[in-house]
Amino acid sequence: MSEPRRAFHDDPLLTRAYDLVAISSVSRAEATIASHVEGQLRSLPQLSVDRVGDNVVARSQFGRKRRVLLAGHLDTVAPFDSKGPHLEGDSLRGLGAVDMKGGLSVMLQLATEVERMSVDLTFVFYACEEIERGASGLGTLIRERPDLLEADVAVLAEPTGCVVEAGCQGTMRAVATVVGRRAHTARPYKGINAVHRLGTLLRALADYQPRELILDGCVYAEQLQAVGVSGGVAGNVVPDEAELTVNFRFAPDRDVAQAEEELRGMLAGALDEGLGDRLEVVDAAPGAPPVLDDPVLALLLRESGQSPRAKVGWTDVATFFSLGVPATNFGPGDPLLAHTADEHVSAGELETACDVLRRLLSEPELASGTAARKEPGGGIRGDEGR
């Protein structure tokens, strides 16, 4: 049976997470949750707070040797139903509980503890991560206030089950257009059915064998999937054009240009340029390799007590890598529950994530020196498998 919020008022992490899940924040509608977060942060005199659109950044300014940035996105995917947050046992259920309001609650809790840390901290709460990259609030900050993102290292509080998920794969969305010739369906031999011609493309996708790449012991498995199809003119017309949208998740040893070349090569046999077939890349974002040799991230790995694994999805770890800031993913919640109707995060997961990060940020080893930065696009070493 579900329990109301008052049943866990003595658990600050669950309480913060509940309040965040209770605020609807579908992409492009984050103003209310941004104001909620801003209010929480402005109540802490040890932090300076800036708001840029619906992006909120808070920073400590103690003059410590290192600065660690913790980041999380405010938005969620569209809701599956209207059911709000509710507690079942020690688990909070509701849209965004895993992706990623559990992680945001950990960030807000750590913001109250900055005076005890060995490093200066930057907290970045940003909008529009779940939609096209061009809308990202992090991109807005890069364009308008890049100074707010300066740091020695970054941790994204994405759901990882409290395991370090290193780097991330790149992502590419492309539309394959196949061409036919219109005819009456009573005389289809007079035309060429473009929808039927999609069969060759679909067979190529069905026969695809994922490539695997091992970097720093983390296995990145590429994936290629059809994610949309359209075509047709009328119920009595042989269609003269059809489109198939595909998503390609590529390992971080490829840049966007190399990934596009690979995708075109994989689909070339199923497209006929002589008929006018074409492939257009409509959205793409590069990945990022693991940077577990960074001193801070190496300590995070040690504090987690678990072996790292690859982030096979895309996250803004890649954005920070492009800025020259080593970054990784670490936060509460099972990533397999993200974007599902069964999102839930437990009190234990929230506490574990908060405790690991608290120990990391309080580590005396971080009080001196400056974390070495890994140059974006630097050398990548690994073993390739099928």
Q: Is 150 a catalytic residue?
A: no
Both ends of the chain: CA-CA distance in Å?
47
The answer for residues whose C-beta is within 8 angstroms of residue 210's C-beta and 6 or more apart is 221, 222, 223, 224, 386
DSSP string, 255-313: -HHHHHHHHHHHHGGG--GGGT-EEEEEEEE--B---TTSHHHHHHHHHHTS--EE--S
Write down the catalytic residue from 75, 303, 316, 334: 75
- Judge whether 334 counts as a catalytic residue: no
Backbone angles phi, psi at 141, to 5 degrees: -65, -40
Helix residue spans in the chain (DSSP H): 12-21, 31-42, 102-111, 137-144, 194-206, 256-267, 295-304, 317-322, 347-361
Separation of alpha carbons 11 and 5, rounded Å: 10
Residues 6 or more apart whose CB falls under 8 angstroms from that of 89 comprise none
Of 129, 260, 294, 316, catalytic: 129
- For the annotated catalytic residues, the residue numbers are 75, 129
